[in-house]
Amino acid sequence: MKTYVLVDSENTPLQHADFARDEAIELLIFIGKTQTKFPRELVLAVQAMGPRARYIEMSGSGKNALDFHLAFYLGQLSTKDPSARFIIVSKDTGFDPLVVHLAAQGTSVRRVPDSTSLLPPPAARPIRPKPAATAATETGAPADQVIKLLLGSPKSRPVRLKTLQGTIQALLGRERPLSEDDLRGLIATLQTRGVLTVKESKVSYSLPA
């Protein structure tokens, strides 16, 4: 599956592009009008990627100018290539409402605070997935976050299970993508708490409209 990585270099400057060695990754680095210096390692890595990487320079300066450009390209690419995955590299939490909205439409998208989140874990320090039972019993706080999101968007709540899972992934999977067991455990918790009901992949809610 193709993955587009969109980098907010004003807010989160890249130091390398090690995460983009995969041929399925396309890298878009958004740079501000006044940015003139970039690490040598990054420049060489981007050059080696050929057409899979490009710089997008702002034509002018202004508050949130880069954010608007990045959001435009994200919308354009997600329309052109709806089956692709999209990752925003930025510490700016202002992108999160857009991420949640796109995820609710079925787009695979998330924001990460820096590029190290995209690197595979070192072989000497493997990350062990949580057992399904543990995931189901440790989702109290995440469940509250999901409920808060659902309460705040009564007219755009996901009505299909797959879309709900994408919305939860966009909300909670920024640092580490949630596993299938995590998602199942969290949705089971929401059902146990009487928040929602899933029947034949369709979701209904018991929350105020």
Instruction: State whether 63 and 97 are in the same domain.
Output: yes
pTM of the model: 0.61
| Measured distance CA(10)–CA(34) in Å, rounded | 10
**Would you say 178 and 172 are in contact if contact means Cβ atoms under 8 Å apart?**
yes
Instruction: State whether 50 and 144 are in the same domain.
Output: no
pLDDT at 143: 86
Q: Is residue 36 part of a domain?
A: yes
SS3 sequence of 110-133: EEECCHHHHCCCCCCCCCCCCCHH
Q: Is residue 46 part of a domain?
A: yes
- Last residue of some domain: 90, 118, 146? 118
pLDDT at 134: 37
pLDDT at 21: 74
Using CB atoms within 10 Å of the CB of residue 119, give its burial: 0 to 12 exposed, 13 to 18 middle, 19+ buried.
Answer: exposed
* Tens digit of each residue's pLDDT, the chain (209 residues): 789 999 998 888 776 677 777 788 899 989 887 777 777 777 887 788 888 988 888 877 778 889 999 999 999 999 999 999 999 999 898 898 898 888 888 888 988 888 776 765 454 344 444 444 333 333 447 888 888 888 888 888 888 898 898 888 888 887 778 888 888 888 888 888 888 888 888 999 888 66
Instruction: State whether 98 and 195 are in the same domain.
Output: no
pLDDT at 169: 86
Number of independent structural domains in the chain: 2
- For 76-119, the DSSP string reads HHHHH-TTSEEEEE-S-GGGHHHHHHHHHTT-EEEEESSGGGGS
| Measured distance CA(196)–CA(44) in Å, rounded | 50
**Would you say 54 and 27 are in contact if contact means Cβ atoms under 8 Å apart?**
yes
Instruction: State whether 60 and 136 are in the same domain.
Output: no
| Measured distance CA(54)–CA(183) in Å, rounded | 35
Instruction: State whether 39 and 113 are in the same domain.
Output: yes
Q: Is residue 184 part of a domain?
A: yes
- Last residue of some domain: 118, 144, 169? 118
Instruction: State whether 14 and 105 are in the same domain.
Output: yes
**Quick check: helix, strand or coil at residue 178?**
coil
Instruction: State whether 36 and 92 are in the same domain.
Output: yes
Q: Is residue 164 part of a domain?
A: yes
Q: Is residue 123 part of a domain?
A: no
**Would you say 74 and 99 are in contact if contact means Cβ atoms under 8 Å apart?**
no
Q: Is residue 104 part of a domain?
A: yes
Instruction: State whether 12 and 89 are in the same domain.
Output: yes
Instruction: State whether 110 and 36 are in the same domain.
Output: yes
Structural domain including 186 reads 132-205
- Last residue of some domain: 72, 89, 118? 118
Q: Is residue 125 part of a domain?
A: no
Number of H helices, E strands in the chain: 7, 7
Looking up residue 151, the CATH number of its domain turns out to be 1.10.10
